Structure 1
Amino acid sequence: MPTHLGQNQYGKAENRVVRITRDGGTHHIKDLNVSVALSGDMDDVHLSGSNANVLPTDTTKNTVFAFAKEHGIESAEAFGIHLARHFVGSQEPIRRARIRIEEYGWERIPTAKEGDHSFVRTGQETRTTEISFDGEHWQVVSGLKDLVVMNSTDSEFWGFVKDKYTTLKEAHDRILATEVTARWRFNWTGDDQPQPQWEQAYADVRRQLLDAFAATYSLSLQQSLFAMGTRVMETRADVDEVRLSLPNKHHFLVDLEPFGLKNDNEVYLAADRPYGLIEGTVLRDGAEARIPVTD
């Protein structure tokens, strides 16, 4: 049966690099998980086994650690841009680089010790970014995952379609909780324009997502999703697309009547599965959707 080679890529995944910057007794931490994927003129290695165009994945790993020393890590985005430019610019067979990065946060522990170098790992969310470069065009998609949020009121769900299998009761005052996965695409196009202030941009988008979730009187999680994406677009001119994945972390009122107790929206069962999964993209008018639904 005739076959042909389709899209392909290779690289070194999940390079765990921690960079300590020492400013006297005050230290700063950047803790990244970096995955490199390269593609280009790679037919021969698949069809004949020739490695003539293959930069070893071990070399990509070494490059990540060397760049952490040589360039430092100002931000996940800036570090990924350095790597992508290097791989595409230094190896002729490599036509495209995709750098995916997860960043793990640390907070300082106040101590009586001299210096400022004690930290505790934060557990609120993981920061993400994906940089793609083909030698001419850039795409930067940043984001976060595992950010758990809850409104204990100001949420309803009623007026939905009902059929013979529907058992869910309408709710006019419910808990709304979700675990936010968000990705947002910057309209930065390359070196001919200044890069956004990546650290400030992340903090600002995160704040806008949280503010919109908290401020929206929600009749559905879909409504909250659109409000969150719209708030980012209204406040960040450098963002053209926001894609959100919001699992509904259901909280069901417990029936306490068998015990002679009234449950006035006070005691809930937190159910982890199955769960409703609400996903959607919010786009600036005139922009095209480029963040994949799945990858």
Structure 2
Amino acid sequence: MPTILGQNQYGKAETRVVKVVRDGATHHLKDLNVSIALSGDMDDVHHSGSNTHVLPTDTTKNTVYAFAKRHGIESAERFGILLARHFVTSQVPIHRARVRIQEYAWQRLGGHSFARAGQETRVTEVTYDGTAWQVVSGLSDLTVLNSTDSEFWGYAKDEYTTLKEAYDRILATDVCARWRYGWSGDEASEPDWDRSYEEAKRHLLEAFADTYSLSLQQSLYRMGARVIDHRDEIDEIRFSLPNKHHFLVDLEPFGLTNDVEDGAVYFAADRPYGLIEATVLREGTEPRIPVDLHTV
């Protein structure tokens, strides 16, 4: 039975691009996930395997990064228009370009500190053994980012170490935290749970934003210590923090520099990632009931 080629397209899906523009001490952040699909005169590649009309999908990825640097990201819509026009007008065989963009919103915490807007999940676990209560609460998926004031250098090296030392980097993580309350029932008044949660979260965010970080471990400890120091009702807090790596894109092949002081473009990697875990406790406090503070 004869067959014909129907609707078809190809491209690069989910290119993560982060653009940081520094306006003095105030930084502006754009975080996009860009998917491009191209279609046009593509019969030959399907029928004979000829790639003559095929612009590599790797090229579409590179174009996203280069355009982010060269043109900036005024808005997701404007950026998509620039990309679509480029592909259709620069490649004769391409008749249509579809650009889908997801933009991730960030809430400003300070000049260069941000929290992903409206993402975290609040959790709690209540245990009662007939005589004592134990309440463990916390949050997960609270994404935070500092666009500067973070370094990572002076680490141990061996023959397999290739990571370059960084003296000005993006630091980002998804905060997963569980904290154990000192309240155990008896005649003690219950804490104001809602206020305690909001205040613990506020101190976590403020500590993250205020810390000039030489390691994610250092930021973790400052966050935990700040909660313990400011919230008397909380005795222990455990963290699981994935290091959400942002790597500077190599733009030299396109004749572009990528200096952090001049609107750097980053690739936001999702895996593999470093995973930093630790517990911060109030000295001299032990749980009356064995507690599982697993954060993941």
Shorter-chain TM-score: which interval?
Answer: 0.5 to 0.7
Verify the 8 A CA contact 2:151 2:167 in the aligned structure 1.
yes
- Within 2, Cα distance between the matches of 1:207 and 1:294? 19
- Alpha carbons of structure 1 residues 227 and 291: separation in structure 2 relative to 1, 3 Å: farther
| 1:292 Cα deviation after fit | 3.4
Residue 208 of structure 2 corresponds to 213
- Within 1, Cα distance between the matches of 2:294 and 2:186? 28
Residue 130 of structure 2 corresponds to 135
With the length of structure 2 as denominator, give the TM-score of the two structures: 0.57
Q: Where does structure 2 lack aligned partners over 5 or more consecutive residues?
A: 1-116
| 1:123 Cα deviation after fit | 3.4
Deviation track 1:156-213 (CA, whole Å, cap 9, x = no partner) reads 0000011111110000000000000011100001041100000100000000000000
Counterpart AA for 2:158: D
Deviation track 1:133-154 (CA, whole Å, cap 9, x = no partner) reads 0111111001000100000000
Deviation track 1:246-285 (CA, whole Å, cap 9, x = no partner) reads 0000000111111111101211100000000000000011
Which of 276, 279, 282 aligns to 2:277? It is: 279
Identity fraction in percent? 67
| 1:288 Cα deviation after fit | 3.1
> Which structure 2 residues correspond to residues 151-170 of structure 1 after superposition, within 5 A?
151-170=146-165
Counterpart AA for 1:275: Y
Residue 230 of structure 2 corresponds to 235
Counterpart secondary structure, 1:184? strand
Deviation track 1:109-152 (CA, whole Å, cap 9, x = no partner) reads xxxxxxxxxxxxx8321000000001111110010001000000
> Which structure 2 residues correspond to residues 24-103 of structure 1 after superposition, within 5 A?
none
- Within 2, Cα distance between the matches of 1:156 and 1:211? 19
- Within 1, Cα distance between the matches of 2:242 and 2:187? 39
| 1:294 Cα deviation after fit | 6.5
Larger radius of gyration: 2
Deviation track 1:202-259 (CA, whole Å, cap 9, x = no partner) reads 0000000000000000000000000000000010011110001100000001111111
- Alpha-carbon RMSD: 1.4
Which of 265, 268, 282 aligns to 1:267? It is: 265
Residue 292 of structure 1 corresponds to 293
Verify the 8 A CA contact 1:226 1:282 in the aligned structure 2.
yes
Counterpart AA for 1:271: A
- Within 2, Cα distance between the matches of 1:288 and 1:260? 60
- Alpha carbons of structure 1 residues 262 and 201: separation in structure 2 relative to 1, 3 Å: same
Counterpart secondary structure, 2:236? strand
- Within 2, Cα distance between the matches of 1:208 and 1:291? 23
- Within 1, Cα distance between the matches of 2:166 and 2:181? 38
**Counterpart check, 1:192 vs 2:190:** no
Verify the 8 A CA contact 1:245 1:280 in the aligned structure 2.
yes
Residue 254 of structure 1 corresponds to 249
Verify the 8 A CA contact 1:241 1:282 in the aligned structure 2.
yes
- Within 2, Cα distance between the matches of 1:281 and 1:259? 46
- Within 1, Cα distance between the matches of 2:172 and 2:133? 35
- Within 2, Cα distance between the matches of 1:123 and 1:152? 20
- Within 2, Cα distance between the matches of 1:214 and 1:157? 17
Which of 149, 166, 175 aligns to 1:171? It is: 166
Residue 123 of structure 1 corresponds to 118
- Within 1, Cα distance between the matches of 2:148 and 2:234? 31
- Alpha carbons of structure 1 residues 294 and 124: separation in structure 2 relative to 1, 3 Å: closer
Counterpart secondary structure, 1:246? strand
Verify the 8 A CA contact 2:125 2:135 in the aligned structure 1.
yes
- Within 1, Cα distance between the matches of 2:293 and 2:194? 24
| 1:291 Cα deviation after fit | 4.2
Residue 16 of structure 2 corresponds to none
Q: Where does structure 1 lack aligned partners over 5 or more consecutive residues?
A: 1-121
